[in-house]
C-alpha cells in the first residue's frame, strides 16, 4: 500500500554558507524526494527557540538556537513514500562522525552541531514543523 508522506527539511547555515544548497537538493531529488515548497530565510533567535523547544533543557540548546539563527537557511517540504524515515536515513546520524557513507551528514557535516541538515523525526512532528514554516 502506498504511504506518501511529507516532511520538513532544513539546509542549515553551515551548508548554505558553503554554497551546498544545490548539491544537497540534488541528493534529495536523486533519492526520489519531491521538493513541494521551499524558501530561503533567516530566522530570529526567538523563532529558533520556539522551533527547538523540545530541546530547551539540553546543555546545547542556547548554542543551537544561536546557530540556527546565525545565517540564511533553506526550509523545504519534501514528499515521498515514507518520507519521514527516508529523509532521516538519507541525512545520517546527528554526529557526522557516526553517519553512514552516502548520507548528507557524512558528506557535508562538519561537527555534531554544524551537521548541515535538519529533518523531522516523526510524522506528527513533520506536520507541526511544516506548519511552523509554511502556515500562511
Catalytic residue among 8, 117, 118, 130: 118
Task: Choose one: 19-27, 84-92, 100-108, 114-122; the region binding Mg ion (CB under 5 A).
Answer: 114-122
> Total number of residues binding Mg ion (CB under 5 A)?
1
What residues contact residue 87 under an 8 Å CB cut-off, 6+ apart?
A: 7, 9, 28, 33, 78, 80, 119, 120
Q: Which is nearer to ligand UDP, 33 or 109 (CB)?
A: 109
Q: Which residues pair with 36 in a beta bridge?
A: none
Interaction partner, residue 64 (ligand UDP, Mg ion, none; CB < 5-8 Å by kind):
ligand UDP
Q: Are 10 and 74 in contact (CB under 8 A)?
A: yes
Angle subtended at Cα 72 by Cα 69 and Cα 75, rounded to the nearest 5 degrees: 95
Interaction partner, residue 35 (ligand UDP, Mg ion, none; CB < 5-8 Å by kind):
none
Mind telling me the catalytic residues?
118
**Residues found near Mg ion in the complex (CB under 5 A):** 121
Amino acid at each position: 500500500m502506498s504511504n506518501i508522506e511529507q516532511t520538513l527539511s532544513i539546509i542549515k547555515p553551515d551548508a548554505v554558507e558553503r554554497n551546498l544548497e544545490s548539491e544537497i537538493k540534488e541528493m534529495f531529488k536523486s533519492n526520489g524526494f519531491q521538493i513541494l515548497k521551499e524558501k530561503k530565510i533567516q530566522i530570529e533567535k526567538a523563532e529558533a527557540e520556539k522551533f527547538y523547544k523540545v530541546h530547551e533543557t539540553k546543555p546545547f540548546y542556547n548554542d543551537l538556537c544561536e546557530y540556527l539563527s546565525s545565517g540564511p537557511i533553506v526550509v523545504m517540504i519534501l514528499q515521498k513514500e515514507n518520507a519521514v524515515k527516508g529523509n532521516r536515513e538519507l541525512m545520517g546520524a546527528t554526529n557526522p562522525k557516526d553517519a553512514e557513507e552516502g548520507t548528507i551528514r557524512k558528506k557535508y557535516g562538519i561537527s555534531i552541531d554544524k551537521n548541515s541538515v535538519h529533518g523531522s523525526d516523526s510524522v506528527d512532528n513533520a506536520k507541526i514543523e511544516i506548519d511552523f514554516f509554511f502556515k500562511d
